Amino acid sequence: MPRNRARSFLREECRILVIGAGGLGCEILSNLALSGFQHVHVIDMDTIDVSNLNRQFLFREKDIGQPKATTAAAFVESRVPGVKITPHVCRIQDMDVTFYMQFHMVICGLDSVEARRWINATLVHMVDEKNPSSLKPLIDGGSEGLKGQARVILPTITSCYECSLDMLPKRTTFPICTIANTPRLPEHCIEWASVLEWPRANPGKKLDNDNPEHVQWVLDTALGRAESFHITGVNWSLTQGVIKNIIPAVASTNAIIAAACTQEAFKIATSTAPYLNNYMMYTGNEGVYTFTFDYERRADCPVCGGDIRSLTLTPQDTLATLVDLLSTLPDMCVFAIY
């Protein structure tokens, strides 16, 4: 793309959606604005907590309790003239296909596997072979402590997020006997509240890790449990970390991964250089190490593989039984009530 045309496209036409306005999202929004992108949307349902301030640099103490999306958008707009950032304070599932179709690409800075799986499946299903503009590149960034990754997903062409689920580390668990009878750590109290007490207090209702009201309930219940056993350290940040299995973020890792994501967005938008093919991993445990490789598609991927999935039901099973199966089986839950 000629230089003048690329500049014009970035400033006047290219529209990017950033999902998440946390540690990665703040860095990505700032980088995009400083790289010349002038039409950006950001979506995030969370509000700012005091624990965010050490690494989410678009926020200040006065912003505690305010929506992340609107606060981040206002801050970047005030610092970079000409940039228009449109915030959306809601879940990504609240938006329909028409909303996602308006963007040229999507960048994820999420801390939720479920949300990544949903947007990945949505973008794959949006692709119409007769309409090339329906293919929306997905740039996914993630960080865990001193480790991170960035990848470029071209729905139906490259491997999708679902193809790589087996790379995810297993969730840290605690012995049931310990959390039920002799808790010793604040994590034990939180796990007790979310795993044992929530089903008893809310039968038939699934705990939503992204729902602030549910997280607050777990926090309040865990605080009561901790007080009974003279345990300290239960707070909002730790509660989110335990129920979402979040590893504490490091600002430098976020900066590196956000820079990689922004660079890929710039390359895709302007065709100035080949984009990542298709997975970059970073580790800073012992220096600075990066490695790039082509993550191949899974032929049996339930999202992009095209294989038929079958379920066995009996004549006595009801529609509720089918819905339960669709929402619990790993290979099916992405498509539940799509």
232: domain CATH number? 1.10.10.520
Residues 89 and 120 in one domain: yes
Residue 103 domain-assigned (yes or no): yes
pLDDT in tens, the chain (338 residues): 667 787 888 888 999 999 999 999 999 999 999 999 999 999 999 999 888 898 899 999 999 999 999 999 999 999 999 999 999 999 999 999 999 999 999 999 998 888 999 999 999 999 999 999 999 999 999 998 899 999 999 999 999 999 998 887 666 666 677 788 888 899 999 999 999 999 999 998 999 887 889 999 999 999 999 999 999 999 988 898 888 777 677 899 999 999 999 999 999 999 989 999 999 999 998 888 999 999 999 888 888 886 666 778 888 888 888 877 776 665 665 544 34
Q: What is the three-class DSSP state of 246?
A: coil
* Alpha-carbon separation of residue 105 from 14, 16, 152, 154, 160 (angstroms): 9, 5, 10, 10, 15
Domain count, the chain: 2
Catalytic residue, chosen from 160, 163, 177, 301, is 177
Do 13 and 117 reside in the same domain of the chain?
yes
Specify whether 54 is located in the same domain as 88: yes
Say how far apart CA 291 and CA 281 lie, in whole Å. 5
Q: Is 160 a catalytic residue?
A: no
Considering the domain architecture, whether residues 110 and 218 belong to the same structural domain is answered as no
* C-alpha distance across the termini of the chain, in Å: 37
| The domain boundary residue, chosen from 203, 226, 244 | 244
How far is the C-alpha of 225 from the C-alpha of 229, rounded, in Å? 7
- Whole-angstrom Cα distance, residue 324 to residue 316? 15
